Structure 1
Amino acid sequence: MKKSDVGGQAVIEGVMMRGTKGLATAVRKEDGEIVIDFQKVVPITKRYKMLNIPLVRGIFVLIDSLRIGINSLNYSASLFEDTEPSKFEDWLRGKFGEKANDVIIGITMVFAFIIAVGLFVGIPTAAATLFGEYGFSPVGLNLIEAMIRIIILILYIWGISKLDDIYRVFQYHGAEHKTIFCYESEKPLTVENVRQFSRFHPRCGTNFLFLIMFVSVFIISFTGWGSFLERLVLRIILIPIISGITYEVIKWLGKSDSIMAKIIAYPGLQLQKLTTREPDGEQIEVAIASLMAAEGLEEEEKNIGELINTGSRILSEVKIDTARLDSQLLLGKVISKDKIYLMTNKDEKVKNEDKKEFIKLINMRKEKMPIKYILGECDFMGLDFYIEEGVLIPRSDTEVLVEEVLKLIDEEDNIMVCDLCSGSGAIGISLAHYRKNIKVDSIDYYDIPEKVTKKNIERNGLEDRVDFIKSDLLGEAIKNGKRYHIIVSNPPYIKDEDINNLMEDVKEYEPHTALSGGDDGLVFYRRIIEESKLVLLDGGILSFEIGYDQGESVKELMEAEGYQDIKVIKDLAGHDRVVLGKLPC
């Protein structure tokens, strides 16, 4: 098979390509992974030499292409289906076993043929009959019929192009054409190279449909103008002949660069403005993967610089401001190298399995998953913490709280501290790291914070001085008679009505249990302030992180419960960030 014989078809979230080695259908799944279904398929005209006769082979190629196309569509659809098979499908599988899918495809083709004949043959033929009373010649009536057929085709394509799912299929259609053009031009199959080519290809099925209209006008003009039934039957009978001639014209258009070829291809290329759309980089990647599998081409290893550029482009397309930095961090995670290494070794090749893992992480970031969740780690107070979804990501704002509490603890103090609503354990572990004689209880109510905090206690070597207690706020501490010199807490404090106004990566991925502070954002402050008096020693300190507009409200709540020397401390941006007060002696 020559490069000019490679063909394809857009499917649901993917592309099918037919090449030298077989047929490959590449589909991008919802998690960003590209999966490829490869089949060793020999064209029908090669399996049966007697069918490879010019002007005859076209109809067999068309039928074979329809069968393969429907099969590829079924495969791509199956990757996104979450519904149970219908009773009819179950019956077919019970009746025909492994051949049930072939039966379904056959039924689909028959129905598709009936609908196509009705829409593009029956309706135009019936409509053209109305003009017979005006004295038009058979040739004129056939031309009118052809015009009606073309109008129906254009309106049909225009109508379905307005559907979102079909629009994406048309984008993949554009990616298919661009990729084939790039391959025919013998340029390396990269997203950047493929982008340069036109999405309008002369061998497209759209051209085939349009040329069938013109060929049918020429052929049918010699048949006269009988009754409606005679014309309908005759047009159906002539479909193989018309298809055969059109197939030969399409093959010639794909190989010829003559002026005549360009003139004949022009209307169909213009129609492709409706049936194709400009693809994005990810869709081009799918088309490239499909063509390479169909042609048996080995995936070329990319270097560090190329992968960072690819990741940056993908993330930039979804308006992620830190696209390049994120790409560097994610590639560094995959190949266990730091940013400096990546910047000074841009030409180093990356294994294909590492490239796939990198693209998988890039696609997670593309969906706005916070980079620190993907990396699985976070820096806080100069320490390294493990994190995952289910705990709040430690932020620099919270370091203000830790620094203020550290000011209250002397280097030699041997005291008990409670980190309440610990999440990842970052606050308590940081305090224990910088004050070598204190002991800390990290308290949280949920399983993931327990898992993460324990892992971070071990990671930072503090098993002898930091313990985890699973409790609904201070319930277990009160029950077990615990007493603390300091309670430090970053409780949930976002008003429920404000949750939906948070940044997308926060509201979609970070745990709402660590964000929602009830209707006024103060629910947990009230409970903690009340319960704290049962576990704090006389003169003990209660310290909170707060929202930028909650300073006075939390201060008033603490005053109402008898706390003294209450301070509201601002962060570097000048916003209220910390409230702390002392329990009377």
Structure 2
Amino acid sequence: MERRDVGGQAVIEGVMMRGSKNLATAVRTPKGNIEIDFKDNRPVTKKYPILNIPFLRGFFVLVESMKVGMESLNYSASFLEEDNEEPSKFEKWLDDKLGEKANSVLMAITMFISFLFAIGLFVALPTGIASVFKGAGISNVMLNLIEALIRIVILLLYMFFISKLNDIYRVFQYHGAEHKTIFCYEAMEELTVENVRKQSRLHPRCGTNFLFLVMFVSIIVFSFTGWGGIVERLALRIVLIPVVTGISYEIIKWLGKNDSILAQIIAYPGLKLQLLTTKEPDDSQIEVAIASLKAAEGIKDPNKNIEELIKTGTSTLKENGIDTARLDAELLLGNIIEKDRVYLITHKEDEVSKEDAEKYFDLIEKRRNKMPVKYILNKCEFMGIEFYVEEGVLIPRGDTEILVDEVLKIIEENQEMEICDLCSGSGAVGISLAHFRQNIKVDLIDYYPIPEKVSLINIEKNKLEDRVFFIKSDLLEESIKNNKMYDIIVSNPPYIEECEIEKLMEDVKNYEPHTALSGGNDGLDFYRKIIDQSQYTLRENGILAFEIGYNQGEAVKLLMENNGFTNVKIVKDFASLDRVVVGIKI
């Protein structure tokens, strides 16, 4: 059975397909998933049989195609709108006056303006230029031929220049994906990316072919109209549009069903013109075209497998400049289906339910917007321990493990000590110390409600309720008030200079709490306050240990020495940068 009843159109980041069952527009959303819109596919010539007259029906089909095309374009464009974008005054006025009809009115206005632009560029301009040659004694037929050649040149130049625009180039890629997919379907092959990729992107039933045929037919039709004044010619060309499009439509239908030599000769120029209007698509664009055709033809799409989802997620993240795209995609999918990375690698063909796929793409969207993976997953590994994290606490980093290691060196295996983890955030430092030293007690101190919530979750998660406690306090004020004394105060305070905050990576400055980052103008505000307050809460020969910025070692060391600390040392990280300062109170 031949399949010749599917047509389509490229839209913004998507493809519209018109099949025997539905009209479907599939769009790749910014999240990376594919959204599909369905509509009734009964054409106007079937709704109103009187319009299905050969050589006239083409005009009505053209008008309907323009309307459907605009609706599909509007649907695809809706995914690019910002959620918080304020409507313009004109849009508000239209909504107030027309309500739900506003979009239809805007579409009609857009189509009318587009029609005027097309008439001006491809009808008025060519016939106006051709008028220059009338005084040379050229026949009416030749003048019409010159006009047509000018029109073709304008069309070619127009297509060439707009193809250089990045957004239009992507539309042309989707145009190529549409053709390849239809070819694959017509060849009775399974609709897979591999099968579609090998097809030609030049299709005889393309709208580009139709445009060329309109040019060609107009030469013949307009030759019978003489060469009157420019107003007369312009009026005749507009009036004869239904005739020209009607004849062109019958020819394009015939080309779609005929593979004869004559058909190939007639289609050849239009096919070559498609070299401008179609570009080779990538696999993600082919996936959209396949989804659109399947929806239009009522072909049920099986669930995607693990590898397909990871590839799609990776592609979306790469396009947004995320270097760890593949790893992030794997972690996010693994979180949804509750499998580790080894499972994902060894079970690539396992299918994932549509419900889980949707949840996965929701997470991909968050990561696309540069939200850190650890916030998305609400977990982070630190010192080999899994911690709960969320926005509002700093994500524990590997550099901070050096601070924990230095403090662990000070505490003997079975030694009993009172420890304070100041500016504790998630509680990762203090809980790690309690995890590795069974006889110490730790107070986690922070001032904000989210650190309190997260710390309590992590205390319970690690079953340390009997040895680790949370105290809400502005630095050490509560401890001083209650005469609480500690053997060790360990702190990873905010230490980034205020002027450097805006220079941080997007996933840090846009998501991690400013209160956990900014250390004031010189980055040392919290070191000064903590060193001063520690005089009242640190026992004799007690230890004060800080994490510091790479350029703050000497400054913090000097602050400690000036406040009575001795044996102050700077510890470097694995990159040989200053990372920790440790001193003893005398």
TM-score over 0.5 for the pair: yes
Contact 1:171 1:276 (8 Å CA) reproduced: yes
410, 424, 432: which is aligned to 2:412? 410
Q: What is the CA deviation profile of residues 239-290 of structure 1, one whole-angstrom value per residue up to 9, with x for unaligned ones?
A: 0111112122222333444444444334333433443444444433333332
Question: Measured at CA, do residues 444 and 189 of structure 1 come closer, stay the same or move farther in structure 2, by a change above 3 Å?
Answer: farther
1:506-585 to 2 correspondence within 5 Å? Answer: 506-584=508-586
1:14-163 to 2 correspondence within 5 Å? Answer: 14-81=14-81, 83=85, 98-163=100-165
Contact 2:30 2:79 (8 Å CA) reproduced: no
Q: Which residue of 1 aligns with 2:237?
A: 235
Kindly provide the amino acid, as one letter, of the partner of residue 557 in structure 1. Answer: L
Question: Measured at CA, do residues 84 and 513 of structure 1 come closer, stay the same or move farther in structure 2, by a change above 3 Å?
Answer: closer
Gaps of 5+ in 1: none
491, 494, 504: which is aligned to 1:492? 494
Question: Separation in 1 of the partners of 2:347 and 2:515?
Answer: 43
Which is further off, 313-322 or 354-363? Answer: 313-322
Question: Separation in 1 of the partners of 2:518 and 2:474?
Answer: 15
Question: Separation in 2 of the partners of 1:521 and 1:321?
Answer: 29
What fraction of aligned residue pairs are identical, expressed as a percent? 65
Q: CA deviation at 1:153?
A: 2.5
Q: CA deviation at 1:335?
A: 1.3
Question: Measured at CA, do residues 21 and 442 of structure 1 come closer, stay the same or move farther in structure 2, by a change above 3 Å?
Answer: farther
Contact 1:299 1:352 (8 Å CA) reproduced: no
Q: CA deviation at 1:227?
A: 1.1
Contact 2:19 2:41 (8 Å CA) reproduced: no
Contact 1:570 1:576 (8 Å CA) reproduced: yes
Aligned to 2:4, the other structure's residue is in SS state: helix
Question: Separation in 2 of the partners of 1:62 and 1:452?
Answer: 61
Kindly provide the amino acid, as one letter, of the partner of residue 484 in structure 1. Answer: Y
Which is further off, 46-55 or 341-350? Answer: 341-350
Question: Separation in 1 of the partners of 2:481 and 2:411?
Answer: 27
Which is further off, 252-261 or 199-208? Answer: 252-261
Question: Measured at CA, do residues 245 and 482 of structure 1 come closer, stay the same or move farther in structure 2, by a change above 3 Å?
Answer: farther
Contact 2:408 2:433 (8 Å CA) reproduced: yes
Q: CA deviation at 1:434?
A: 1.9
Aligned to 2:561, the other structure's residue is in SS state: helix
Question: Separation in 2 of the partners of 1:92 and 1:334?
Answer: 43
Kindly provide the amino acid, as one letter, of the partner of residue 31 in structure 1. Answer: K
1:150-549 to 2 correspondence within 5 Å? Answer: 150-312=152-314, 322-496=324-498, 498-499=500-501, 502-503=504-505, 505-549=507-551
Which is further off, 121-130 or 363-372? Answer: 363-372
Contact 2:184 2:195 (8 Å CA) reproduced: yes
Q: CA deviation at 1:356?
A: 3.0
Contact 2:31 2:361 (8 Å CA) reproduced: no
Which is further off, 277-286 or 378-387? Answer: 277-286
Which is further off, 17-26 or 501-510? Answer: 501-510
Question: Measured at CA, do residues 189 and 373 of structure 1 come closer, stay the same or move farther in structure 2, by a change above 3 Å?
Answer: farther
Question: Separation in 2 of the partners of 1:86 and 1:501?
Answer: 33
Question: Separation in 1 of the partners of 2:446 and 2:199?
Answer: 57
Contact 1:392 1:424 (8 Å CA) reproduced: yes
Q: CA deviation at 1:232?
A: 0.8
Contact 1:171 1:279 (8 Å CA) reproduced: yes
Contact 2:2 2:186 (8 Å CA) reproduced: no
Question: Measured at CA, do residues 276 and 486 of structure 1 come closer, stay the same or move farther in structure 2, by a change above 3 Å?
Answer: farther
Contact 1:32 1:360 (8 Å CA) reproduced: no
Q: CA deviation at 1:311?
A: 4.4
Contact 1:453 1:468 (8 Å CA) reproduced: yes
Q: What is the CA deviation profile of residues 407-441 of structure 1, one whole-angstrom value per residue up to 9, with x for unaligned ones?
A: 22234433322222222221111112222232222
Contact 1:17 1:24 (8 Å CA) reproduced: yes
Aligned to 1:4, the other structure's residue is in SS state: coil
Question: Separation in 2 of the partners of 1:190 and 1:376?
Answer: 36
Contact 2:445 2:471 (8 Å CA) reproduced: yes
Contact 2:284 2:312 (8 Å CA) reproduced: no
Q: CA deviation at 1:368?
A: 4.7
Contact 2:34 2:288 (8 Å CA) reproduced: yes
Q: What is the CA deviation profile of residues 514-549 of structure 1, one whole-angstrom value per residue up to 9, with x for unaligned ones?
A: 334444433332333233323322322111112333
Question: Separation in 2 of the partners of 1:320 and 1:563?
Answer: 44
Question: Separation in 2 of the partners of 1:559 and 1:129?
Answer: 93
Contact 1:311 1:327 (8 Å CA) reproduced: yes
Q: Which residue of 2 aligns with 1:12?
A: 12
Which is further off, 229-238 or 145-154? Answer: 145-154
Q: CA deviation at 1:401?
A: 0.9
Contact 1:564 1:583 (8 Å CA) reproduced: yes
In the comparison of the two structures, how many residue pairs are matched? 584
Question: Separation in 2 of the partners of 1:560 and 1:484?
Answer: 21
TM-score by length of 2: 0.89
Kindly provide the amino acid, as one letter, of the partner of residue 253 in structure 2. Answer: K
Question: Measured at CA, do residues 404 and 158 of structure 1 come closer, stay the same or move farther in structure 2, by a change above 3 Å?
Answer: same
Aligned to 1:223, the other structure's residue is in SS state: coil
Kindly provide the amino acid, as one letter, of the partner of residue 27 in structure 2. Answer: V
Kindly provide the amino acid, as one letter, of the partner of residue 460 in structure 2. Answer: E
Question: Separation in 2 of the partners of 1:195 and 1:361?
Answer: 29
Which is further off, 226-235 or 495-504? Answer: 495-504
Kindly provide the amino acid, as one letter, of the partner of residue 469 in structure 1. Answer: I
CA-based RMSD: 3.0
Q: CA deviation at 1:363?
A: 4.7
Which is further off, 351-360 or 306-315? Answer: 306-315
